[in-house]
Amino acid sequence: MSQIASASAIEHTPATKERRHALAHTSIVSAVLNLILSVIKIVAGLLGHSQALVADGIHSLSDLLSDVLVYVAGHHATQQPDQDHPYGHARYETVATLALGVLLLLVALGIGWDAAQRLFEPSALLQPDTLALAATLVSIGVKEWLYWWTLSYAKRVRSDLLRANAWHHRSDAISSIVVLIGILGTLAGLPYLDAIAACIVALMIAHIAWGLGWGAVTELVDTGLEADRIAEVTRTIRSVGGVRDIHMLRTRRLGGGVSADVHVLVDAEISVSEGHMISVLVEQRLKREISDMTDVTVHIDPEDDAEQPSVAPLPLRAEALARLDALWSALPAAQQRQRVLLHYLGGRIHVEVVLPLAACQLHGVDPAHLSAALAAAVREETIFGQVRVHFSAI
């Protein structure tokens, strides 16, 4: 007996609408500010003779492109599941995050290469002035505000893409601080510091790119949750009444949520409806107690199929009843059975049959003798196991 209970990860709910609004709103505001900052830093870097500030301005320009990615991905990721995407569109966010990581890595390589060349050509070193210093201070303030503002939305709607974009803003703020140190050092008479600062900015951007890209890759290849999260999920499932054990627990990330499927071991002889109710309770409790759990599939098992040896397929109900009719053909009372339950356990079919007491009286047979005869009749059939007979007074 098995029962599968599942739920779609993405629906048009208030939470989904809030997520869509957060992605669109933060990306538009960030894009406008990043465009303004890019122009200010690049122009101030050129006029103020700061290579590091120009590099930082290019970094902000990459932020502008990331904001476009967030907007486009957010629009698609919050759409309802359809025929081509039955699990929803949440991984548009993941793909966009990976693209953002690749973009940042390319930016880092370009900035680092240019700065390294200037370090080996002293004549190419720039001498920043106070204009570059002022632009850098503005950049630090704006980018740090953008970080906290975007991060607040990311936490509210549980979006990894927004969290990544927030850290992109934070990396820009930190890189601007490095640029500030380089400019101050150069103004103090250390001309190499600006180029060195540009190299440090490139390394920082590369580090952020690796973190974003690797996280997206692990999700795209369906990497499971960490051991402590798996333990939390396991404890939650085991806390549901009727759950005897679990096995074959599998998890994966899907956009900002987590998907899980699990085999749950229950008592072998409960009804289908009771097994279904247990699966529903497991699903509901996981979604309630695991904050980012959005999709759950529960498979109800009457025995631990992970440990059972492989056996040949057993006949289903119609064929099994036909075989029982043939085996019990010499026992007329068996033809008046009211109900037959078939339990597929341990590679055999165990039979539970309900007969009216009136059948025994009609055919002049003792109930105990009839039970023994029914059990003896099926012993030659290896597909059948134990036979239990119940008598009803009705």
Q: Exposed/middle/buried for 87, CB within 10 Å: 0-12, 13-18, 19+?
A: middle
| Cα–Cα dist 325/330, whole Å | 9
123: pLDDT confidence band, cut at 50, 70 and 90? low
* 192-220 vs 91-119: helix crossing angle, rounded to 10: 160
What is the identity of the amino acid at 133?
L
Residue 262: its H or E element: strand 257-265
Give tens-digit pLDDT for 272-314: 999 999 999 999 999 999 877 888 999 999 988 766 655 678 9
Query: Using CA atoms, how far apart are residues 171 and 109, in angstroms rounded to an integer?
Result: 16
**Model confidence band, residue 390 (pLDDT cutoffs 50, 70, 90):** very high
Mean pLDDT, to the nearest integer, of 320-335? 92
All domains of the chain in start order, with CATH: 9-220 (1.20.1510.10), 227-301 (3.30.70.1350), 317-392 (3.30.70.1350)
Whether pLDDT at 43 is above 90: no
Average pLDDT over residues 161-166: 76
User: Would you say residue 21 has pLDDT above 70?
Assistant: yes
Percentage with pLDDT > 70 across the chain: 84
Which structure tokens are listed for 246?
């679990």
| Residue 56 clears pLDDT 90, i.e. is over it | no
Q: Which pLDDT band, with edges at 50, 70 and 90, does 85 fall under?
A: low
Query: Which is more confidently placed, 41 or 375?
Result: 375
The most confident of the ranges 3-7, 15-19, 164-168 is: 164-168
CA–CA dist 294, 223 (Å, integer) = 16
| Residue whose C-alpha is closest to residue 88's, from 6, 7, 8 | 8
* Contact assessment for residue 24 and residue 107, using Cβ atoms and an 8 Å cutoff: no
CA dist., res. 154 & res. 22, Å (int): 8
What is the DSSP code (8-state) at residue 314? P
- Dihedrals φ, ψ of 50, to 5°? -125, 110
The overall average pLDDT reported for the chain is 80
Asked if 348 and 314 count as a contact pair (C-beta separation under 8 A), the reply is yes
Distance CA 276, CA 223 (A): 29
β-strands 348-356, 384-392 pairing? parallel
Tell me, what's the pLDDT at 389? 93
Q: What is the pLDDT of residues 133-147, one digit of tens each?
A: 788 888 888 888 988
pLDDT band at 128 (very low <50, low <70, confident <90, very high): low
CB neighbours (10 Å) of residue 34?
25
